[in-house]
Amino acid sequence: MVTPVKRVEKDYLFQVLYVENVPMVFLKNRVSYLFFLEKPVKDEMVFQSNWLVKNLRINDRIDLMFDFWGKSIVFSVNVLRIKDREIVCTVPDVLNKNLARSYSRTDVPAETQLHFTVLEERYVLSFPKVSEYEPGDIKAFFPKIDPKNFSGFVEQMGIWIKTYANEYTLTIFEDTGPTTFEERLIAQTGKTLFLPSTRDKFPLDDPYPRKRIITGEMFKRYLESSGIGAAYLDGACAKYIRERADSGIFSEAWIPILFQEYVIGCIHIWINVAGKRPIDYAAIDVLYQFTKILAHSLKVSGHFEKGKVKNDTFEAKVIDISASGLLFVHPHSDLSALLQPDMNLKFGLITPNRNITVNAKVMRRFTGGEMDYFGCRFEEMAQEDFNFLFEYIYGKSPADYNAKFFSGHV
């Protein structure tokens, strides 16, 4: 896991870089340069390169890496001034260590072109939208389910739910959208509102690696966004739970139905019979799988067909690249809005000597100004393509690669 270096440790590392003359690696145009600190770090960093860096300009961002006790540490700075081999740069806000990526990133040779295609069917819909993309695969959990038999599946689901709860409703957000307080809450968060017992509180923690549950703190933040003052949040939360108990409910949950990044509906289950076992996380797990099948069933029945996006090939500008992935940029658009982490893309990388086709997964995205940026990881690249790409971007074969300096960063 990538770990930011704390301020005290950062100051210490800067001192080590200067006093011990530790080399920092900078890659540009298939050439690796070594940078050394000429002065102690204060308001700027003054480097001396081992040779003249070609085509480096003021305001360019450069990525530097150094090895400290077997750990690769990287940081980014902007160029302020250049005089021969002396390069003056900004001081980085953060240094990162324990990097999970595989190879050093570098700028892209100017003659490189990139085309990409979205491998999955994508949609623009009028349902509430959340920031996370929800990939779907129902075969692993329910391999014998017929997704085209929507009514039959709903009937089976209702029978199963009755083993865990007394009542349930299934709601699809069509023309009216979410209407109740709970529906609006899960539509905004894309997470499950779970109250195991109305004699207790909302969950303090979310046990899932990929977070699914609205915790008590999240519930309070939603109340605060609706206009309730911070001093009244605990009381409002307790009042809500008390009102649920007064209405005869002992345990309940609202589980959102997610289709890609859209919240298309929800399943509400509850217990209103005393003495029945409360709803637990095992029930939430199965219901979560049910919602995936419901969404898939609506898809195969053509429910979302009007919002389907034509899957064309698009051009993109590569910001930097490594042997294991790349960062590309695309202007704000309906297309860039569709590209979410965990999505699968196919890249066509065109160079003067060879064209490479490789699948990739979007690992992260962020927005800057009028552009959207996407960090992608290559998936299962052919060995001959990997060898070519390696030498193309680093100017050396994998066998000559200095792992001590270069391993650890896309």
Give the tens place of pLDDT for each residue, 29-72. Answer: 767 788 999 999 999 999 999 889 988 999 998 888 887 766 77
Tell me the average pLDDT across 280-303: 89
Structural domain includes residue 67: yes
* Pair (275, 145) in one structural domain: yes
Q: What is the CATH number of the domain that holds 375?
A: 2.40.10.220
Q: Which residue, of 273, 306, 339, is where some domain finishes?
A: 306
- Cα(98)–Cα(90) distance, rounded to whole angstroms? 23
* Pair (227, 299) in one structural domain: yes
What does the pLDDT read at residue 217? 94
Is residue 350's pLDDT more than 80? yes
- Which amino acid is residue 51, in one-letter code? W
Instruction: Give 160's DSSP letter.
Output: H
Question: How many domains, in total, are found in the chain?
Answer: 3
Note whether 101 and 225 are within 8 A (CB): no
Is residue 403's pLDDT more than 60? no
What does the pLDDT read at residue 177? 87
Structural domain includes residue 365: yes
Tell me the average pLDDT across 267-287: 93
118-141 burial string, b = 16+ CB within 10 Å, else e? beeebbebebbebeebbeeebeee
* Pair (21, 79) in one structural domain: yes
- Cα(389)–Cα(112) distance, rounded to whole angstroms? 11
What does the pLDDT read at residue 1? 45
* Pair (193, 337) in one structural domain: no
Structural domain includes residue 211: yes
* Pair (226, 367) in one structural domain: no
Q: What pLDDT digit, counting tens, does each position of 137-182 carry?
A: 554 445 556 667 777 778 888 888 988 899 999 999 987 789 999 9
Tell me the average pLDDT across 302-321: 84
Enter the pTM of the model: 0.64
Q: Which residue, of 306, 324, 339, is where some domain finishes?
A: 306
Residue 175, domain extent: 132-306
3-state SS assignment for residue 180 = coil
Is residue 410's pLDDT more than 90? no
Sign of CA dihedral 156, 162, 165, 166: positive
Between CA 264 and CA 360, with CA 336 as vertex, the angle to 5 degrees is 95
* Pair (286, 202) in one structural domain: yes
Note whether 223 and 215 are within 8 A (CB): no
Q: Which residue, of 291, 306, 321, is where some domain finishes?
A: 306
Structural domain includes residue 269: yes
* Pair (313, 302) in one structural domain: no
Mean pLDDT of the chain: 85
Q: What is the CATH number of the domain that holds 52?
A: 2.30.110.10
Structural domain includes residue 252: yes
Tell me the average pLDDT across 251-278: 94
What are the residues facing 269 on neighbouring strands? 168, 253
- Cα(399)–Cα(17) distance, rounded to whole angstroms? 28
What does the pLDDT read at residue 405? 45
Cα dist. 325→157, 279, 304, 358, 382 in Å? 42, 43, 32, 10, 14
* Pair (288, 317) in one structural domain: no
Q: How many helices (H) and strands (E) does the chain have?
A: 9, 18
Q: What is the CATH number of the domain that holds 258?
A: 3.30.450.40
pLDDT confidence tier of residue 108, bands split at 50, 70 and 90? confident
* Pair (171, 297) in one structural domain: yes
Give the residue with greater pLDDT, 239 vs 109.
239
Structural domain includes residue 102: no
Structural domain includes residue 26: yes
* Pair (204, 353) in one structural domain: no
Structural domain includes residue 51: yes
* Pair (329, 270) in one structural domain: no
* Pair (144, 213) in one structural domain: yes
